[in-house]
Structure formats: structure tokens, C-alpha cells
Amino acid sequence: MSASNRRWRVAAMPSGQLESSHFDLETADRPEVPDGKVMCRVLWISIDAAQRAWFQGATYRAAIQVGDTMPAFSIGQVIESRCDDFAPGDIVTGHLGWQDYAVVDPHDLKRLVHKRPLSNHLSVLGITGLTAYFGLLDVGQAKPGETVVVSGAAGATGTLVGQIAKLHGCRVVGICGSPEKQKWLTSELGFDAAVNYRDDAFRKALKEACPKGIDVYFDNVGGVTLDTALGAMAYRGRVVCCGVVSQYDTSTPVRGARGVPGVLIIKSITMRGFLYTDYAERFDEGLQALQGWLDDGSLTVTEDILEGLEKAPEGLIGVLNGSNVGKRMIHVADPS
Amino acid sequence: MSASNRRWRVAAMPSGQLESSHFDLETADRPEVPDGKVMCRVLWISIDAAQRAWFQGATYRAAIQVGDTMPAFSIGQVIESRCDDFAPGDIVTGHLGWQDYAVVDPHDLKRLVHKRPLSNHLSVLGITGLTAYFGLLDVGQAKPGETVVVSGAAGATGTLVGQIAKLHGCRVVGICGSPEKQKWLTSELGFDAAVNYRDDAFRKALKEACPKGIDVYFDNVGGVTLDTALGAMAYRGRVVCCGVVSQYDTSTPVRGARGVPGVLIIKSITMRGFLYTDYAERFDEGLQALQGWLDDGSLTVTEDILEGLEKAPEGLIGVLNGSNVGKRMIHVADPS
């Protein structure tokens, strides 16, 4: 094991679209582990569109600054511990960043007990799965027989939202960005229909796919897609505000959904934003349900894995362009 | 009783702000009452900012057209009946319009059994009261100890929302448009604070009046006031979308609230639109509560009454300018 550490350092703040030049891959000596801390080998790095949003300013976390190691949720293995809570060999999750080794406070780590492949804990059994589960069923209050529409349908959260909605007895329509994804959603994931937001006839196609209106719109993208869906909602429909991917890769996001608040009043619509952490007390319930569907084969896991730490910037840029299918992540190393 | 009828006819569609010239007061013979219909003497006419919105296009009702009698919810008295459901002398509510006499279908009328002044049935015991009651307590889920902010605070709905919130044990902050209204809200209606949206320091004043953030924002106005309130919400706050008065008196309404959906996600905020008719099955509950507060003197009734049918256009124009205090209505005639 080398005594050096590679880390992706934020070299410049993006003013428009994110590019590789905004990151530097820096190699330095691994730091010492101070008393009370832990050093982890990074194994898997989660790549999420929201990471681009962290450049836009403080949100539920502080804004990214030049010089920072690019932050990211990850799976790691403890290789040195100077605290009582963790021992070398432990598999953990936490914000370890885009790097080979991270020295962290043990309070920021969670021990991972796993039966399935580690990668699943960044997808269906991780933040993504919990977001889809609680977002659809609790925030969105989806009921059997209702029409559920999800945008970013071929992405990490969207693939799970659509499948869970089908398992729940809903009619499911996916919104995605290519004919290939449309076909894949209906033929492989069991969606009832899929429409392409890049098509000129998108608005019409969405309405035709939802003849009774949209009961639950699970929104991962915001922007024009949200505006269009708002125009197709059913009376007492619910909009689950989960992400705004269309507005992340810019320094001048469009702020404001057309028709809000007027259309909400006319159709008695609820729009509700959430973070998966709102459901911290119910994580076990969510994980148990997801695990059950995995065990009986009713949920297809879609992971989009890039090999090697050096792929992190292009991995994120790709997610912002919609080039991924399912949950994107970086495989950095295997546990010892 | 004269055999003629005066009616305010829509003479032209407003392209900008509403003016008296958009209406003509026309005098014609009273129509015959066809079989199965009823003729009512109009007694009280409700004046609501939403009436201006009806010019902007179809909403929960068809758009207004040139030549229409200006529509309005009203209280009337049956003077001739050619159906079994109503008899001369009955006091009723329904959409009778800006006129002296209306010939209507009995299915569009509701018999009014009243103990209090008739005017109260257009304010606290009518649509306005039900809107405030269900909007605050059910849509907004206001809890004792929470901070409730209401815009259009000195208006028909706002005066009731603020008072009900105080009765419910909330801290109440009103948003209004003049120092006189600010003073009136705190000294006469018991609001804890009032801020003026026309002040340069409005944003700062609102934040200072809500040191823990806004738990429930009851929005009657939309526009910049909504944008500002969204920026001051507490975690898990609720925005009750009731009206968009700031955007009614124009043919080019601003469509879109800044920060939606991003700010909803970051703070787990719910925005929910509604119409009082959503609660049709619970009207009795609402009316009983409102009646109780009236009986024990804990609710102040604020009615802004203009005398005579000829005042209808200026009454509506005034509401759009915020010149009313409390519920504006037109007194046309007394029951026989």
C-alpha cells in the first residue's frame, strides 16, 4: 500500500457548465491520523447530480470552495483507527470525497453491515433507494391505480421510483432524454410508457400518456419539464420535489416554476420538497422493503459503474448530460 | 317594485389594469321566468379580487366574455318561483351577478338559514370564513406555538386567518400595504406584528418579525411577497396557496415563484393550493367553529360595505388596489 494519496482538488469554480479543467488530480503524502480520528481507504464513490449544485451556494451543506477535496458520499474501509468506535477492516459509509484515502471524524461514519454487493449500498440500499421509497410513497402518497410520472426516469432515483410505483399498483410513465432510454424503460423496467422531453411534441405526448392526468409527479429535473408536468396534473395531484438537475450545471439557474402558485390553487395541487434525511427514523422500514423486493427478484438493480478514481470528473459531467443509465458510481478499490 | 333590471355588463376585456370603462350599467326589462326557474332580488354582492382573475382565462370556472353580466357570488331573495324547491320570500345564496334581479336555475341556489346579519354570510360565515378556517388549519396544518404569516392581512381572508391563528395559539405576523393597516392589525385585531410589503426593508422586517422562521405562510397575493416569504420559511414549513392578488390586475401575470422547486427541497417545504369547495363535506364543522367564536366574542367581524349597485366596479377596482379593510361587499337592497 503506497503512502501517498491522490485527491481531486477543486481547481476553479465553474461559471457555466462543469468541465474537467475545474478539477486537478493532486498526489501528496497521506496525512497522519490524529488522536480520535480514523483513516479510510475509499472503495466506492457515489456520483450525484446534486454535487454540481453544491458549487452554486450553501444548501443543506456548505458551498464548495476552491482548494477543497471534491466532496462525495462514499463507501470505505478503515485502515487505521485512533478511536474506540472503529477498528481496521470495518466497512463504513460517509462523506469521504474524491480521493484514495480520507482521514475523518468517527462521528461522520456509519458502520455498514452488508449481505449484498457493496455497490448496492450506493444505489438501491443507499440514499438513492431511500429517496425513491419515501419520496414516492410518503411525500407523494402514491395510491394503487394512480398515474405516476417520474422525470430523470432512466437515472439513479428514477429507475427505482418507476419500479416501486409499478410494484405498488400504479400506472407509470417515465420522462427521459433519448429513444433508447424510452425503449429500455418500457421493455426492461416495466414502465407503462416513456416520453422524451427533447421531442417537439413532448407536451402532447405526456398528456396522451396520462389520459386521466398526473396524480403523482416525481420531479428530479425542474425547469421546462416541471412546467410541462404542472400543466398536466390531475385534481389533487402531488408534485414530489426531489431534484432540479436541469438547473444545476449553470451559474444562472432559472428560478421559478411556471404556473406556481396559480395552477396549484385551481387544481388543489400539493408540491412538497424533501431530503431523504427527513426520514432518518424510518430508514429501517425503507431498507427492509427494498431488501425484500431485491430478495424476491421484483426489483432490477441498475448501476452505472466507472472504473478508477481518475474517472470521477467525467463521471459527474456525464450525469449532468444524462449519459448515465441507473446509479452512477466510481469503483476505486476492493476491500482487503 | 319596478319591472326593469339594472345589470353591469362587461363592455370590454381589460388589457392592463381594470377600469370602470370596462363595464356598462345597462337598464332593461326584467326577463320572464321560464318554467322550472326562479327570480331573485339581489340583496348583497360579494366583491372578490378573484373576480378580476376570471378575465384572465378559464380557471375553476369559464372565462368572462364581453356582453356577460359581471358574475359574482351574492345573497338574494326569491321573488318569483316556477319550481317546487323555492318559494317567494326565501333567502338564498348563489352566483347572481352584478344586477338587481337574476333568473337562475334552482340547482345553483342554496337556501340560507340565518341568525346573524345577512352580510356575515358573505364574510365570516361564508366562503371567506371557510377559506380561512380550512386553509389555515387543514391545508396549513398550523400548530399552537408556530409562527403564522399571512399576506393580504387586512383583507377579507387575511383578517380571519390572523384571528383564527391567534385563537389557535400561534404567533401571527401580518403582511399589508400601509402603516395605518399595520397599526390596525396589531392594535385592533391582536396580531403580534405587521410588516409593510411596500417598505424597502420589507425582507429584513419580515425576517425580524419571524426569528424562528415561518412555519405557515398563508399566501393571498403571490408575486414578490411570496418570493420573499419563501426565503424566510422554517424547516418543514407549509405555504398555503389561496390567492394571487398581485397578479390578477394585468394581462401579463408573472408566472412562477422564485426558488421553486429548489428552496422547497432544501427546507422540506410543502406548498399546497386549495379551493374552499375541496372541503364541501366539512362545511358544517367549519361554520360551527366560526359561529362559536362569533357567539363568544372572540372573533372581530370586519366588513367593508359599499352602498348601491352602482358602486360595484369601483368596489372591485379598490380591492385590487388594496383600498378595502376586511371583506368588501355591495349592499343592493333589503329583504322584503
pLDDT digits 0-9 by tens, A61-116: 889 999 999 999 999 999 999 999 999 999 999 999 999 999 999 999 999 998 89
Contact yes or no for A272 and B264 at CB 8 A: yes
Q: What are all long-range contacts of A190-193, with beta carbons under 8 Å and residues at least 24 apart?
A: A190/A162, A190/A163, A190/A166, A191/A153, A191/A162, A191/A166, A192/A166
Co-location of B168 and B308 in the same domain? no
| In a domain? residue B257 | yes
Check B255 against A247: CB less than 8 A apart.
Answer: no
Q: Scanning the structure block, which residue is given the C-alpha cell 380571519?
A: B160
Instruction: Please tell me the predicted confidence (pLDDT) of residue B2.
Output: 52
Residues 6 or more apart in contact with residue A265 via CB below 8 angstroms: B241, B242, B243, B244, B273, B274, B275
Q: pLDDT category, A255, cuts 50, 70, 90?
A: low
- What whole-number percentage of chain B has pLDDT above 90? 92
Residue B251 shares a structural domain with residue B194 = yes
State the nearest Cα–Cα gap between A273 and chain B, in angstroms: 4
Write the pLDDT tens digit of every residue in A146-179: 999 999 999 999 999 999 999 999 999 999 999 9
Q: Within this chain, do residues B46 and B107 fall inside the same structural domain, yes or no?
A: yes
Mean pLDDT, range A38-52, rounded to an integer: 97
In angstroms, the CA B193 to CA A123 distance is 48
Least confident window among A209-223, A234-248, B43-57, B241-255: B241-255
Say whether both B103 and B167 belong to one domain: no
Q: Is residue A288 part of a domain?
A: no
- Interior angle at CA B119, CA B118 and CA B121, nearest 5: 75
Exposure pattern of A240-274 as b/e (b: 16+ CB <10 Å)?
bbbbbbbbbbbeebbbbbbbbbbbbbbbbbbbbbb
> A144 lies in a domain?
yes
Note whether residue A283 is domain-resident: no
Alpha carbon distance A246, A242 (integer Å): 12
B126 pLDDT exceeds 80? yes
CB distance A258–B260 less than 8 Å? no
The three cell numbers of residue B247 are 397578479
- Residue-level pLDDT at A2: 52
CB atoms within 10 A of CB A199: 14
pLDDT of residue A205: 98
Count CB atoms within 10 A of the CB of residue B179: 12
Where among B277, B293, B315 does a domain terminate? B277
Considering A263, A278, A293, which residue would you say is the last residue of a domain?
Answer: A278
Nearest to B270 among A258, A270, A275 (CB): A270
Tally of CA atoms within 13 A in the half-sphere of A289 that contains its CB: 16
**Mutation target among A264, A274, A279 for the B interface, most CBs of B within 10 A:** A264
Q: What is the CATH number of the domain that holds B256?
A: 3.40.50.720
Q: Whole-angstrom Cα distance, residue B190 to residue B153?
A: 12
HSE, CB side, 13 Å, CA atoms: give it for residue B61. Answer: 14
For chain B, list residues whose CB is within 8 angstroms of any CB belonging to chain A: 59-60, 219, 222, 226, 236, 239, 241-244, 247, 253, 255-275, 278
Query: Cα A108 from chain centroid?
Result: 20
Helices (H), B104-236: 127-134, 156-167, 179-187, 202-209, 223-230
For residues A309 and A249, membership in a common domain is answered with no
- Do residues A243 and A220 touch, judged by C-beta distance below 8 A? yes
Instruction: Name the domain count of chain A.
Output: 2
Distance separating alpha carbons of residues B253 and A41, to the nearest angstrom: 55
Report the C-alpha gap between B182 and B204 in whole angstroms.
16
User: Which residues of A are less than 8 Å from B244 in CB distance?
Assistant: 261-262, 265
Query: Does one domain contain both B70 and B211?
Result: no
Q: Which residue has the cell 402514491?
A: A142
In a domain, B103, yes or no: yes
Residue A287 lies in a domain: no
ipTM, 2 decimals?
Answer: 0.93
How crowded is the C-beta side of A61, counted as CA atoms within 13 Å?
14
Q: How far is Cα B93 from Cα B108, in angstroms, rounded to an integer? A: 9
Query: pLDDT, tens digit, for every residue of B74-123?
Result: 999 999 999 999 999 999 999 999 999 999 999 999 999 988 999 999 99
CATH number at residue A77: 3.90.180.10
Q: How confident is the model at residue B60 (pLDDT cuts 50, 70, 90)?
A: confident
- pLDDT of B160 above 80: yes
Report whether the peptide linkage leading into residue B261 is cis, meaning its omega lies within 30 degrees of zero: yes
Q: Do B260 and A271 touch (CB under 8 A)?
A: yes
- Probe site for chain A from B141, B249, B268, B281 (most A CB atoms < 10 A): B268
**What is the bridge-based pairing of β-strands A73-81 and A110-111?**
unpaired
Q: How far apart are CA B331 and CA A327, in angstroms?
A: 65
Same structural domain, B315 and B271: no
- Return d(Cα B332, Cα B268) in angstroms, integer: 48
Average pLDDT over residues B23-28: 97
pLDDT at res. B233: 98
CA distances from B268 to A214, A236, A289, B169, B238 (A): 22, 20, 23, 24, 9
Q: Return the higher-pLDDT residue of B311 and B59.
A: B311
Let me know whether A119 and A140 are in one domain.
no
What are the chain A neighbours of B59 within 8 Å (beta carbons)? 266
Q: Are residues A104 and A61 in the same domain?
A: yes
Asked if B225 and B314 sit in the same domain, the reply is no
Mean pLDDT confidence for A124-136: 98
A245 contacts on B by Cβ (under 8 Å): none
Tell me: do B172 and B195 sit in the same domain: yes
Amino acid residing at B25: L
In a domain, B96, yes or no: yes
Pick from A284, A290, A315: nearest CA to A116: A290
Give me the domain span that covers residue A205.
127-278
Is A290 part of any domain? no
Distances in Å between the Cα of B224 and the Cα atoms of A269, B1, B43, B290, B320 are 21, 49, 37, 32, 16
- What is the reported pLDDT for B253? 79
Residues A71 and A101 in one domain: yes
pLDDT attached to residue A57: 86
Q: Collect all residues with Cβ–Cβ distance below 8 Å to A113 and sequence separation of at least 6.
A: none
Q: Count of CB contacts below 8 A, A vs B?
A: 114
**DSSP-derived pairing of the beta strands B110-111 and B91-95:** antiparallel
> Going by C-beta distance under 8 Å and a sequence separation of 6 or more, which residues neighbour residue A208?
none
B166 has a pLDDT exceeding 60: yes
Q: Looking at CA atoms only, how far is residue A28 from chain B in angstroms?
A: 35
Q: Please answer whether residues A144 and A169 qualify as being in contact, where contact means their C-beta atoms are separated by less than 8 angstroms.
A: yes
Q: What is the predicted pLDDT for the residue at A1? A: 47
Q: Which residues pair with A312 in a beta bridge?
A: none
Q: Say yes or no to pLDDT of B258 above 90.
A: no
According to DSSP, the β-strands at B101-104 and B38-46 are antiparallel
Enumerate the residues of chain B whose CB falls inside 8 A of the CB of residue A219: 261
Put simply, the answer to whether A278 touches B268 (Cβ < 8 Å) is: yes
Phi, psi (rounded to 5 degrees) for B43: -105, -50
